[in-house]
Amino acid sequence: MGTNFQAETGRQIRRFRQEAGLTIEELAFRARLHPNYLGDIERGDRNPTILNLKKIAEALNKPVADIFGKARTAGRSAESRAVYLSADMDEALMALLKSLRKNDRKDQAYIIQSAKALSAKLRKGR
């Protein structure tokens, strides 16, 4: 995921630079960075520091968050589906799992199938 994020961030910087009508040299001068370093960032060959991303964003008159653009969502398909539980819900889930172990396999399968169906219904209701 790191390399894709890095490359997408570089593409986003290049896109903003070109939209602003700036050359790499002009943007590098504004951001007080070396043009070769900026070129490496745009190609995804370098992993810039947050400070340097801030300099680039300021030179482009963009919020730092905009530089990440599509990169923020790259590789997040599984992440975006993740559901995090509160401590109380986590304890209840652990108790449910422990009780499942006491049942035979047929009952376990039925309970899991029911939980999946309930979960799907709850998602549709969102």
Total tally of structural domains belonging to the chain: 2
Cβ atoms 3, 44 nearer than 8 A: yes
> Is-above-0.85 flag for pTM?
no
CA–CA separation, 79 vs 29, rounded Å?
A: 38
13 and 50 share a domain?
yes
From first to last of its 126 residues, the chain has per-residue pLDDT tens of 456 888 999 999 999 999 999 999 999 999 999 999 999 999 999 999 999 999 999 999 999 988 887 655 544 444 444 455 566 666 777 777 777 778 888 888 888 788 778 777 777 765
| Domain containing residue 104 | 83-124
91 and 69 share a domain?
no
Helices (H), the chain: 2-19, 24-31, 35-43, 50-59, 64-68, 77-81, 87-101, 105-124
